[in-house]
Amino acid sequence: MKEKIHLHLESIDFFIKSFDNKSITINSGLPGIIIFYFHLHEVTKETRHYDSAIHYLEILYDQLENDLPDSYLFSSGLAGIGWFFNYIRRFVEIENAFDTAEFDITFMEVAKNELKRKNYEFISGFSGILLYILSKENTDIQLLQTFVDDVHEDIFKLEDPISFFEQKDTRHEFPSINFGVSHGMYGFVAVLNKLFARQINPKKCEAILRLIINFTFKHKKDFITNGSFFPNRIGKTINQSNHNRLAWCYGDLGILTVLYTTSFLLKDIVLQKEVTTMLIHTTHRKDMEVLMMNDVWLCHGTSGAAHIFQRLYITTQIDDFKFAANYWYSKTLQQLDRGTPQIKSNHTQIGSYARKDVTGFLLGYAGLGLSLLSKLQTTTLDWDEMLLMS
- Where is the binding site for Zn(2+), in residues? 249, 299-300
The sheet with strand 172-178 has its strands ordered as 166-169, 172-178, 233-235
381, 374 Cβ separation under 8 angstroms: yes
219, 162 Cβ separation under 8 angstroms: no
Closest Cα partner for 80 from 46, 120, 114, 131?
A: 131
Kindly report the length of the chain: 390
215, 223 Cβ separation under 8 angstroms: no
235, 172 Cβ separation under 8 angstroms: yes
For residue 35, the number of C-alpha atoms closer than 13 Å in the C-beta half-sphere is 35
387, 298 Cβ separation under 8 angstroms: yes
Query: 3-state DSSP: the chain helix, strand, coil percent, rounded to 5?
Result: 60, 5, 35
